[in-house]
Amino acid sequence: MITLTREEAQSVLDALSDCREDSEELFYEYKQKYGDHYKPQRITFQQSVLDQSAQAIETLRARLSAPEPEPFGIWHQGDTYEESDFYLYKDSGDVACKTCVKLYTAPPQRKEPDPVADKYLMEIECTKCGAKQDGILTVNTPPQRKWQGLTDEEISNLWNAPGDSGNEFARAIEAKLKEKNHV
């Protein structure tokens, strides 16, 4: 994926708009000079290119007119690793110094519900300028898979398997549970 700044996207829009205007002028001059029936595939192709460029221009205009997204996080680049820090924007707000960089890359969107999370209230401080704000540290606990036990039939099959010690039976049960639960 390629990400452009708003200024770069505006430059692309301007260039595409200029190119489309020039192509449209040439297209209509060609149609007037030769008519609609001379090389109809060429006319159809040129009309298709004009239509697609118009659609691209409208898409760019719509995206550029949309409000800027809220940053995902803030990165403070310190002189050393220990002085550098990352904060989630939603937890730290606009607490940032001149060396802090707002990050606009959104995290991947989840389709499944968020896992259980432990939340801790803490004070967030920019290590460079000392600006402080209360924030919430969220620690996600991965979702737990539902435990798969053994059916009576599986236990019976393991009991009747060759071997005569309780240890062998216990190891067979252990192996079967690991297999069912991908441990």
Residues in CB range of 163: below 8 A, 6 or more apart: 169, 172
78 shares its domain with 55: no
> Stretch 12-32: mean pLDDT, rounded?
88
Read off the tokens for 101: 């960089």
Residue that is last in its domain, among 19, 45, 65: 65
Residue that is last in its domain, among 35, 65, 95: 65
Distance CA 53, CA 44 (A): 14
**Backbone φ and ψ of 136, nearest 5°:** -120, 125
Residue 157 lies in a domain: yes
22 shares its domain with 46: yes
Contact in structure between 9 and 64 (CB atoms under 8 Å): yes
123 shares its domain with 169: no
Range of weakest confidence among 14-18, 24-28, 92-96, 167-171: 92-96
Distance CA 162, CA 171 (A): 13
| Domains: count for the chain | 3
Higher pLDDT among residues 129 and 16, named by residue: 16
The pTM score is: 0.41
Residue 1 lies in a domain: no
Residue 145 lies in a domain: no
Q: Which structural domain range is residue 106 located in? A: 73-140
Read off the tokens for 169: 């039976």
Handedness of CA 168, 170, 173, 178 (dihedral sign): negative
Cα atoms found within 13 Å of the Cα of residue 80, Cβ hemisphere only: 2
29 shares its domain with 59: yes
157 shares its domain with 119: no
Tens digits of per-residue pLDDT, 56-87? 899 889 888 888 777 777 777 777 877 777 77
- Going by C-alpha positions, the residue among 92, 90, 158 that lies closest to residue 125 is 92
79 shares its domain with 132: yes
114 shares its domain with 81: yes
84 shares its domain with 59: no
80 shares its domain with 132: yes
